[in-house]
Chain A
Amino acid sequence: EPEVTQTPSHQVTQMGQEVILRCVPISNHLYFYWYRQILGQKVEFLVSFYNNEISEKSEIFDDQFSVERPDGSNFTLKIRSTKLEDSAMYFCASKLDRVWNQPQHFGDGTRLSIL
């Protein structure tokens, strides 16, 4: 069964450094997402991406965050200057297309630890 893959599984970074989290969505999917889950808290929406542009973003997704689809397969989340509070599990998800009643499929996440 096709799946969303995320790399690395664990990233440790010094505060203030830039970090890039990578995702390969399911190959024929067109709608991509990033979510995060801080330890002990709910999974939170960050951003959705369709047709090479941001479709929606939450208030968490400030100027420190950016997303990109640099080629036909990868979807990346960049945090420019990491803060301690960015430590969380980051999940990538993809969906077949814009139709509203289709499920999003998630990767296994990247655990980001900011020191």
Chain B
Amino acid sequence: DQQVKQNSPSLSVQEGRISILNCDYTNSMFDYFLWYKKYPAEGPTFLISISSIKDKNEDGRFTVFLNKSAKHLSLHIVPSQPGDSAVYFCALNAGNMLTFGGGTRLMVKP
């Protein structure tokens, strides 16, 4: 299933800098876009979302951008903190079911 792709399997960032995680999709039917964070041995934890009618949503250090024409979603974390180190999944909704990307492992170095 290549409908949703996270092309970077890992990302390493210095504490205090910006982390940018990317997600590309092919299906125009997706209407709601979410980011989840996952620690080992835990389930995905909802982080932030955006509806297809918007292009930006901000919540504290986290901002999600949606470029519908490019079918591209990104998550910005600024400033990054060591506790942000985890696997981040984009998950796209169509018809009340989520299609997940493969995840990006973010490592924030102190």
Contacts and interface: CB of A to CB of B under 8 A. Distances in A.
Contacts of B103: 42
Contacts of A48: 96-97
B41 A103 contact: no
Contacts, number: 58
Interface residues of A, number: 25
Nearest to B4: A42
B27 interface: no
A108 B41 contact: yes
Contacts of A103: 34, 46, 49
Contacts of A42: 1, 100-103
A4 interface: yes
Contacts of B49: 101, 103
